[in-house]
Structure 1
Amino acid sequence: MKKRIAIIGSGPAALLLAAFLDPQKFTVTIYEKNKTSGRKFLVAGKGGFNLTHSEDINQFIKRYTPKYFLEEALLSFTNNDFRNWLDTIGIPTYVGSSKRVFPEEGIKPIEVLNAILQLLNEKGVIIKYEHTFSGWDDTSSPVINNKSIQTDYTAFALGGGSWKITGSNGSWLKTFAKKEIETKPFQASNCAYQIDWHPDFIQNNEGTPLKNIAISCNDVIQKGEAVITKFGLEGNAIYGLSPQIRGQLSSNSKATIFIDFKPLLTLDNIHSKITTSKFRNTSEILKKELKLSTSQINLLKIYLSKDVYLNAELLAKHIKKFPLEIINTAAIDKAISTVGGIGLNAISKNYELKKMPNQFCIGEMVDWDAPTGGYLLQACASTGAFLAKHLNENG
């Protein structure tokens, strides 16, 4: 006789779990509180639908915080495995210039979602919409729409705390905490970071990008670009430093990042270009010889003293390591993702709740962190596929 599995939530982790469960062993029902599946999945696709990243899996694993937690799942269902599986359901992919992986041109996010849902339909997976989880009854059975659900296994894929418009508001956190399951408050990740800009700088540079830079924090370096906003800085060059910035903010109520405006040049290269230039005006040297943008030059000019700005040695050092102080993160609802949720000590290596046998937590609702660029979606997919493998073998 088939065993019953209730999957609560219908984001990527839930959908991949359902896709890989053996229909000969399990009757699978997904319960979704919204009227449709994958709302956050679709919203994420509006900014450039990046499914995963193509880098070597051993380097890929190092992008996560903590590194060890997702390793087994990522090795069990790698970025290449994800691409191959997508191809089998009619979603061919390609690697972009950034090494990120996208659906082939012309394939929209809704088509990817529909291909997955079609597969689930063919496997007999039932999806019940407008079904909201609110807790457990006295026998630890999940309560959905005020009714106890009889199931052999329950898998929660309730998402994090960002993008409330999609229904991913993290309201479930208190429900788990009441069961004395270890939880961590949600914090913003992959978000804008607040900087108290000099008024003269922000007035003339708001909205401009800092391209081809590298930003470091706690000796971790992230290359890319960042956009100057009235609030502070945002973009891939700073998103990847979220764990380090949050750590400093937590300890010191502020964090210091360092910008390398010319990561492809050494300090000696920069000093030489400044001192041997035929141009006499410092700003012209920076523009003509070093190809710095107007906003980069303005940062140096406004934030450095005149003596430092006109000293070739000191100026070169600041071009390679320009300090900026961060005073806060953006609000959680404006973040791309969150950390926090179910504490790692609360679940086994197979994502089973230690205090509630046969109940599992996967995806972004668990306390791990990843940068943008395909890593978030890949981890959700991998945890779903990994749990399916575990249940197929042991259920």
Structure 2
Amino acid sequence: MKKKVAIIGGGPAAFLLAAFLDAEKFSVTIYEKNKTSGRKFLVAGKGGFNLTHSEAVEQLIQRYTPDDFLANALSHFSNTDFRNWLDQIGIPTYIGSSKRVYPKKGIKPIEVLNAILKHLKEKSVVIKYEHTFSDWDQYGNVIINNQAISANYTVFSLGGSSWKVTGSDGGWLDTFSKKGIQTKAFQASNCGYHINWKADFIKKNEGTPLKNIAISCNNIVQKGEAVITTYGLEGNAIYGLSPQIREQLQTNSTARVYIDFKPSLTLEKIHSKIHLSKYRTTTDILKKELKLSTPAIDLLKTYLSKDSYLDTQSLAINIKEFSLEITHTTSLDEAISTVGGIDLKAVSDQFELKKLPHQFCVGEMLDWDAPTGGYLLQACASTGVFLADYLNKIR
């Protein structure tokens, strides 16, 4: 007789877990509280559907915080493995200029989701919609829609606490805490950060990008682009520094980041270009000699004193290391992802809850962090497959 696996939550980690469980050994049911599954999956696809990242798996692992927790899962089911599997179910992929991996042009997020759901159906995976987990009964069985569900293995894939409109509201956290499972409060990650802009600066530059820059915090450097917003900055160049910024905010109430407007040039080269430039005014030198954008020049002019702006050495230093103070993050609901959830100390190396034998947690509900660019989805997929293969080996 087949053993029963109950998967609570219908997102990427749940899908990959169900897809890789041995259909000869297990009867698999996914319980999803929404009327449809994969809602966050589809929302994420609206801004450019990063399925994973193409860099070498050794480097990929280092993108995660903490990098050791997911190492086994990411090595077991790598970005290459993920691409191969997607191709097998009819979703070919390609590597973009940023080394991010996307579905082949013309394939929409809903088509990716439908291909996955079709594959699950072919494996006889049952998905029950509008089925909400609320607690456990006295015997440790999960309660769904006020009924206890008996299963040989129960896997939670409940997501984090961002984009509540998709159903990922983190409302399960208190239920787990009351059960005696170690949890951590949710915090925003891959989110916008608040900066007290001067009124005249933001009036001129709201919505403009700072392109081809590098931002650093706690000696960690992230290259990319950031967009100036009314409240501060957002974009991949600052999203990737979320762990470092959060650490400073928790310690000091504020955080300090440094923008390098010309990461392709050394400080000495910039100083030389300014000093030897044929252009007479500082603004012309920045615009025509160094090719700085208007918002970058406006930042320097607005926040540097007149003496610092006109002094060659001081200006060069600020072009390479322009300081900005961050006051706080945007809200949880505005964040692309969250950290917090199930404390990593509460699960085994196979993601089994130490207080609840045969019950597991996968995906974003665990307390790990990663930047945007396909890393989040890859980790969800990898934890699902890693657990599936572990269960497949149990006799």
Indicate whether the TM-score tops 0.5.
Answer: yes
For 1:388, the equivalent position in structure 2 comes to 388
For 1:335, the equivalent position in structure 2 comes to 335
Using the alignment, how far apart are the partners of 2:29 and 2:207 within structure 1? Answer: 46
For 1:170, the equivalent position in structure 2 comes to 170
For 1:70, the equivalent position in structure 2 comes to 70
For 2:247, the equivalent position in structure 1 comes to 247
Using the alignment, how far apart are the partners of 1:302 and 1:62 within structure 2? Answer: 37
Q: How far did residue 93 of structure 1 move?
A: 0.2
The TM-score with structure 1 as length reference comes to 1.00
Secondary structure of the residue aligned to 2:34 is coil
**Does residue 1:346 correspond to 2:346, yes or no?**
yes
For 1:102, the equivalent position in structure 2 comes to 102
For 2:275, the equivalent position in structure 1 comes to 275
Q: How far did residue 125 of structure 1 move?
A: 0.5
Q: How far did residue 86 of structure 1 move?
A: 0.3
Alignment of 1:83-232 (within 5 A): 83-232=83-232
The one-character-per-residue Cα deviations of 1:193-220 (angstroms, maximum 9, x if unpaired) are 0000111111111110000000000000
For 2:294, the equivalent position in structure 1 comes to 294
The one-character-per-residue Cα deviations of 1:289-330 (angstroms, maximum 9, x if unpaired) are 000011000000110001110000110000000000000000
Using the alignment, how far apart are the partners of 2:91 and 2:204 within structure 1? Answer: 44
Taking only the aligned residue pairs, the percentage that are identical comes to 71
Using the alignment, how far apart are the partners of 1:50 and 1:373 within structure 2? Answer: 6
Q: How far did residue 176 of structure 1 move?
A: 0.1
The TM-score with structure 2 as length reference comes to 1.00
Using the alignment, how far apart are the partners of 1:299 and 1:153 within structure 2? Answer: 56
Q: How far did residue 182 of structure 1 move?
A: 0.3
Deviant stretches of 4+, over 6 Å: none
Using the alignment, how far apart are the partners of 1:147 and 1:27 within structure 2? Answer: 19
Using the alignment, how far apart are the partners of 1:132 and 1:139 within structure 2? Answer: 19
Secondary structure of the residue aligned to 1:24 is coil
Using the alignment, how far apart are the partners of 2:115 and 2:58 within structure 1? Answer: 29
The one-character-per-residue Cα deviations of 1:117-148 (angstroms, maximum 9, x if unpaired) are 11110111000000000010000000000000
Q: How many residues align?
A: 395
For 1:366, the equivalent position in structure 2 comes to 366
Using the alignment, how far apart are the partners of 1:44 and 1:285 within structure 2? Answer: 41
Using the alignment, how far apart are the partners of 2:79 and 2:10 within structure 1? Answer: 21
Q: How far did residue 280 of structure 1 move?
A: 1.0
Q: Which amino acid in the other structure matches residue 136 of structure 1?
A: W
Q: Which amino acid in the other structure matches residue 328 of structure 2?
A: N
Using the alignment, how far apart are the partners of 1:205 and 1:114 within structure 2? Answer: 41
* Coordinate RMSD, CA, aligned: 0.5
The one-character-per-residue Cα deviations of 1:243-268 (angstroms, maximum 9, x if unpaired) are 00000000000000000000000001
Secondary structure of the residue aligned to 1:46 is helix
For 1:57, the equivalent position in structure 2 comes to 57
For 2:81, the equivalent position in structure 1 comes to 81
For 2:13, the equivalent position in structure 1 comes to 13
Using the alignment, how far apart are the partners of 2:80 and 2:155 within structure 1? Answer: 25
Structure 2: runs of 5 or more not aligned: none
Q: Which amino acid in the other structure matches residue 315 of structure 2?
A: L
**Does residue 1:234 correspond to 2:234, yes or no?**
yes
